[in-house]
Structure 1
Amino acid sequence: MPVWVIVWLSISAFIQTYDACYVLLGSLSHVGGPLAGFWPGHVFYATFDHRYGTVDSFGSAQSWANLLEVIFIVWALVHAKKWSGVVVALIVTVATFWKTVLYFLVEISSGLEMTRQSLERGDLVGFLMVAVLPNLFWIVFPLAVVLTLGRQVYRVGRSAAVQLESA
């Protein structure tokens, strides 16, 4: 597994755990809660994306999915030098990619229900810089990992198929 993928997966596991804890702790971690000080960035982000400022079933489900992904990421990192680690990293990164795409699609399909207020107050730059741009990292980086690891899996699979055909 390439070093940059290992670095990305490590960062991803930390951020997903941190993010899931904020969401799942609900009123304890949200603005005014006794633990809100541990998540100042999230409290600010929640002013642009209300899914993060309220208890929302989709946001909660995504947070539970984050924690499951972290378990698989840790497993993949422990087995990073083995073929199984590469395959599990590929699978979990595909999940991360599509979960983020789904997050965007739910928001778009709802007519920007959770983020529209920032546009209504005329804060297009804030909307783009806070609600959109950071989330694009969760599409771009996983996609790059999927392409990188997918090529590795393809090459190994193709090589194995050629060996079987010649045998």
Structure 2
Amino acid sequence: MTAVPPIPAPVRVDPRDLRLPRWVIVWLTVSAIIQTYDACYVLLGPLSHEGGPLAAMWPGHVFYGSFDHRYAQFDAFGSAQSWANLLEVIVIVWALAHARRWSGVVVALVVTVATFWKTVIYFLVEISSGLEMTRQSLERGDLVGFLMVAVLPNAFWIAFPLAVVIVLGRQVLRVGRAAGA
């Protein structure tokens, strides 16, 4: 006769760890809107670019394109990143629809890691190319414009996702520890 193993005690997890924090929901919502808007600008070029019939819908992007030529003209990397943005938005919408479930936390963590690294890669591609797409603003002596338009806004796309990754990563770690106890 085989001994029956004892039934483990129920895992005690803080219910707040099983759902997305409100500020993360706000960030993901804003992120999805911006990523969709941004991807449409890039993928609809040249219609959406300066001089195109749809350019008035993206005045900020047309201005940004004067600092980052990846946005002012077709660029394969920029196009690929825009398609990745749209895929991320689909995953974000799924995570938001499951914001009160553990699965929403895990999926939000995964998609935010993707957002973070995609932005880091964007910077690394630009740096590795010798600032191929942004150098012209420095060559015309516009260091402040370069920093305020090309660098600072993009830095938010590293800082905010990193904050989300830290917060959701800690949640996943706490739930994992509780389940392992």
Which TM-score band applies after superposition, normalised by the shorter structure?
A: over 0.9
TM-superposed CA distance for 1:61, in Å, is 0.2
CA displacement, residues 107-139 of structure 1 (integer Å, 9 cap, x when unaligned): 000000000000000000000000000000000
CA distance in 2, matches of 1:122, 1:94: 35
1:15 matched residue in structure 2: 34
What one-letter code is carried by the residue in structure 2 that aligns with 1:51? R
Within a 5 Å distance, the mapping from 1:1-167 to structure 2 comes to: 1-162=20-181
Q: TM-score, normalised by structure 1?
A: 0.97
CA distance in 2, matches of 1:2, 1:19: 25
For the residue of structure 2 that corresponds to 1:65, the secondary structure is: helix
Q: What root-mean-square deviation, in Å, do the aligned CA atoms of Structure 1 and Structure 2 show?
A: 0.3
TM-superposed CA distance for 1:86, in Å, is 0.4
TM-superposed CA distance for 1:35, in Å, is 0.3
Pair member with larger Rg: 2
Q: TM-score, normalised by structure 2?
A: 0.89
CA distance in 1, matches of 2:74, 2:176: 44
For the residue of structure 2 that corresponds to 1:28, the secondary structure is: coil
Q: Report 1 or 2 for greater relative contact order, CA contacts < 8 Å, sequence distance ≥ 6.
A: 2
1:165 matched residue in structure 2: none
Length, aligned pairs only: 162
CA distance in 2, matches of 1:26, 1:34: 10
Which consecutive segments of 4 or more residues in structure 1 shift more than 3 A?
Answer: none
TM-superposed CA distance for 1:148, in Å, is 0.2
TM-superposed CA distance for 1:92, in Å, is 0.1
CA distance in 2, matches of 1:81, 1:103: 32
